[in-house]
């Protein structure tokens, strides 16, 4: 078996030394024959009986796997199905059983399974306490990127239930069917997976901001601060729209990581009901506090506006106070003609490649400001306007990112010439930049183009990124 660099890889990647149990020469059928000796929970007797007839090859050949390049499963450590990205969890019960058996087999040797490679496929495992997450991809996705996706999916579950509740549930009943508590939340996971595969923010752990003059952004922030500063239990206030952050105001000493902001974006984008009425919803932000809920007042500024205001508090009894605050904020924005600024900004993309002074043979780029963890990327040009072309470009960015960020690597510049495009990745103390060029550009020209691009962006970074920290 070969990895993306053409080097031999072991089909099973494990944390410690159990790899000697599964040698590189073993095939998947022989391995599963050993795995089938692992006992499964009594509640999964049907899975146990059928597991011997299922090979990993058959699993990949079923229709759900053939039609979709990446499948994601969630199950409990007892083998109970929780979620399947495609298909019915109940109909795929045998597959869940095999996955649980694989994990148990390795854990019995005091080890932890990370991934399995077979043919062009990769199977990645992430074990989070009593929850097992598995992704199977039929293209050469990096283990790191898939692992990040699985962590996001796990965090989405925690966001709905809190870590404390998940822990207590499985301490009382290890074979609990978690689907009972997640009914209706599948759409959040579905949307999150699609979001993470199509938006560069997930790859670079960053957030895009709405482009505007810094004075306008400060005026919007001040409208929120002046209204909400006396609400002592309010922790965060943010205005978002079209997957872009307009402003974020926070209580001093508190901050939000991009991964938590992504969950907030996902919640808003997945819920049409927020557009029709003010909502009061609990939300756990795992990197802020995985053990408890914040309570969010969520509402759009107006029916004809795509900007959504979220006021997050630790007090579950102040809905009406926050509702009044929202109305006051809207009045201030309208009075200062900021409502129109927001509306007009959201109606158009932040940037197109044509907005950048001509850079030789450049097609697209992704730029991350390290200081703020904010990101800038233009809309995809016509060449990449089909789902297949857009997905392929994102896949190439993923591969380039993995090349630069290999564990232990000191690589700061990567240049890759591919059949359809040339990619350049550049990491400095201030920023990360990945650029797509036409396929025949040479390294010198690509490097010069990347330097020119970084200078252009840094010149206007106060428009593209939120430079100031706004506190109540």
Query: Are 274 and 405 members of one domain?
Result: no
What's the CA gap between 152 and 263, in Å, rounded?
8
Q: Decide if 219 contacts 225 (C-beta within 8 A).
A: no
pLDDT value of residue 63: 61
pTM of the predicted model as reported, rounded to 2 decimal places: 0.86
Asked whether residue 371 is domain-assigned, the answer is yes
User: Rounded to whole angstroms, what are the CA distances from 463 to 198, 207, 230, 250, 459?
Assistant: 24, 14, 29, 21, 9
Token digits for 218? 């400060």
Query: Are 311 and 375 members of one domain?
Result: no
The answer on pLDDT for 2 being more than 80 is: no
Token digits for 353? 């490649």
pLDDT value of residue 45: 45
- First-to-last CA distance in the chain? 56
Closest CA to 261 of 128, 380, 155: 155
60: confidence class by pLDDT, cuts 50, 70, 90: low
pLDDT value of residue 119: 81
Q: pLDDT averaged over the chain?
A: 87
User: Rounded to whole angstroms, what are the CA distances from 42 to 39, 46, 82, 96?
Assistant: 9, 9, 17, 14
Tens of pLDDT, residue by residue over 228-244, are 999 999 999 999 999 99
Query: Are 53 and 154 members of one domain?
Result: yes
What's the CA gap between 169 and 105, in Å, rounded?
24
200: confidence class by pLDDT, cuts 50, 70, 90: very high
Query: Are 334 and 357 members of one domain?
Result: no
94: confidence class by pLDDT, cuts 50, 70, 90: confident
The answer on pLDDT for 29 being more than 70 is: no
Exposed/middle/buried for 245, CB within 10 Å: 0-12, 13-18, 19+?
buried
| Between 138 and 255, the higher pLDDT residue | 255
- Looking at residue 106, which CATH number applies to its domain? 3.30.450.30
pLDDT value of residue 90: 83
Beta pairing partners, 417: 422
Mean pLDDT, rounded, for 137-144: 86
Which domain-ending residue is among 291, 321, 348? 348
pLDDT value of residue 42: 46
- Sign of the C-alpha dihedral computed for residues 86, 195, 57 and 36 taken in this order: negative
Q: Decide if 75 contacts 124 (C-beta within 8 A).
A: no
Q: Decide if 133 contacts 74 (C-beta within 8 A).
A: yes
Look at the chain and report how many structural domains it folds into. Answer: 3
Which domain-ending residue is among 299, 322, 348? 348
Exposed/middle/buried for 389, CB within 10 Å: 0-12, 13-18, 19+?
middle
Q: Decide if 229 contacts 450 (C-beta within 8 A).
A: no
Tens of pLDDT, residue by residue over 394-422, are 999 999 999 999 887 788 999 999 999 99
Query: Are 279 and 330 members of one domain?
Result: yes
CA 336 to chain centre: 36
What's the CA gap between 203 and 210, in Å, rounded?
19
The answer on pLDDT for 20 being more than 90 is: no
Percentage of the chain lying above the pLDDT 90 cut: 71
Query: Are 330 and 358 members of one domain?
Result: no
165: confidence class by pLDDT, cuts 50, 70, 90: very high
- Number of Cβ within a 10 Å radius of residue 233: 15
Tens of pLDDT, residue by residue over 368-398, are 999 999 999 999 999 998 999 999 999 999 9
pLDDT value of residue 65: 54
Which domain-ending residue is among 348, 379, 403? 348
Provide the residue count of the chain: 472
The answer on pLDDT for 346 being more than 80 is: yes
The answer on pLDDT for 471 being more than 50 is: yes
pLDDT value of residue 92: 83
**Domain carrying residue 151:** 12-182
Query: Are 233 and 138 members of one domain?
Result: no
Q: Which of 22-26, 141-145, 281-285 has the highest mean pLDDT?
A: 281-285
17: confidence class by pLDDT, cuts 50, 70, 90: very low
Secondary element (H or E) of residue 467: none
199: confidence class by pLDDT, cuts 50, 70, 90: very high
Asked whether residue 30 is domain-assigned, the answer is yes
Asked whether residue 446 is domain-assigned, the answer is yes
3-class DSSP assignment, residue 209: strand
- Looking at residue 407, which CATH number applies to its domain? 3.30.450
Mean pLDDT, rounded, for 330-343: 94
The answer on pLDDT for 24 being more than 70 is: no
pLDDT value of residue 12: 46
What's the CA gap between 300 and 90, in Å, rounded?
38
Tens of pLDDT, residue by residue over 420-459, are 999 999 999 999 999 999 999 999 999 999 999 999 999 9
58: confidence class by pLDDT, cuts 50, 70, 90: low
Q: Decide if 136 contacts 28 (C-beta within 8 A).
A: no
Asked whether residue 457 is domain-assigned, the answer is yes
Q: Look up tokens 């001509």; give the residue.
A: 358
């Amino acid at each position: 078996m070969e990895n993306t660099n053409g080097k031999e890889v072991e089909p099973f990647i494990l944390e410690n030394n159990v790899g000697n149990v599964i040698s590189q020469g073993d095939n998947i059928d022989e391995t599963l024959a050993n795995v089938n000796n692992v006992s499964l929970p009594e509640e999964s007797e049907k899975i146990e009986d059928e597991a011997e007839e299922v090979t990993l090859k058959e699993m990949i050949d079923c229709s759900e796997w053939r039609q979709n390049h990446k499948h994601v499963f969630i199950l409990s450590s007892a083998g109970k199905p929780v979620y399947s990205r495609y298909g019915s969890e109940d109909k795929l019960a045998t597959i869940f059983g095999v996955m649980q058996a694989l994990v148990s087999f390795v854990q019995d040797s005091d080890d932890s399974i990370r991934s399995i490679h077979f043919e062009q496929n990769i199977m990645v495992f992430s074990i989070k306490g009593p929850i097992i997450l598995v992704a199977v991809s039929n293209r050469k996705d990096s283990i790191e990127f898939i692992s990040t996706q699985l962590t996001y999916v796990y965090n989405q579950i925690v966001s709905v239930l809190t870590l404390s509740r998940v822990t207590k549930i499985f301490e009382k009943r290890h074979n609990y069917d978690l689907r009972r508590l997640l009914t209706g939340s599948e759409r959040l996971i579905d949307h999150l997976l699609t979001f993470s595969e199509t938006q560069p923010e997930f790859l670079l752990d960053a957030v895009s901001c709405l482009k505007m003059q810094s004075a306008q952004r400060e005026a919007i922030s001040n409208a929120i601060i002046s209204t909400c500063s006396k609400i002592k239990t309010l922790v965060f206030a943010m205005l978002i729209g079209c997957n872009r952050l307009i402003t974020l105001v926070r209580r001093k000493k508190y901050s939000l990581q991009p991964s938590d902001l992504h969950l907030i974006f996902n919640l808003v984008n997945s819920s049409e009901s927020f557009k029709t009425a003010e909502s009061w919803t609990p939300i756990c932000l795992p990197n802020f506090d995985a053990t408890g809920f914040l309570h969010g007042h969520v509402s759009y500024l107006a029916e004809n506006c795509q900007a959504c205001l979220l006021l997050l508090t630790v007090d579950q009894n102040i809905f009406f106070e926050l509702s009044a605050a929202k109305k006051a904020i809207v009045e201030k924005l309208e009075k200062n003609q900021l409502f129109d600024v927001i509306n007009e900004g959201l109606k158009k993309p932040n940037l197109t490649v044509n907005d950048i002074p001509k850079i030789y043979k450049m097609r697209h780029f992704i730029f991350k400001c390290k200081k703020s963890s904010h990101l800038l990327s233009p809309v995809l040009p016509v060449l990449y306007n089909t789902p297949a072309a857009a997905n392929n470009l994102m896949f190439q960015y993923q591969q380039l990112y993995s090349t630069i960020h290999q564990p232990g690597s000191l690589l700061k510049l990567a240049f890759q010439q591919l059949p359809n495009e040339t990619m350049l990745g550049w990491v400095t103390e201030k920023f990360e930049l990945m650029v797509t060029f036409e396929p025949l550009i040479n390294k010198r020209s690509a490097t010069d183009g990347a330097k020119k691009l970084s200078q252009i962006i840094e010149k206007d970074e106060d428009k593209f990124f939120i430079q100031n920290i706004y506190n109540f």
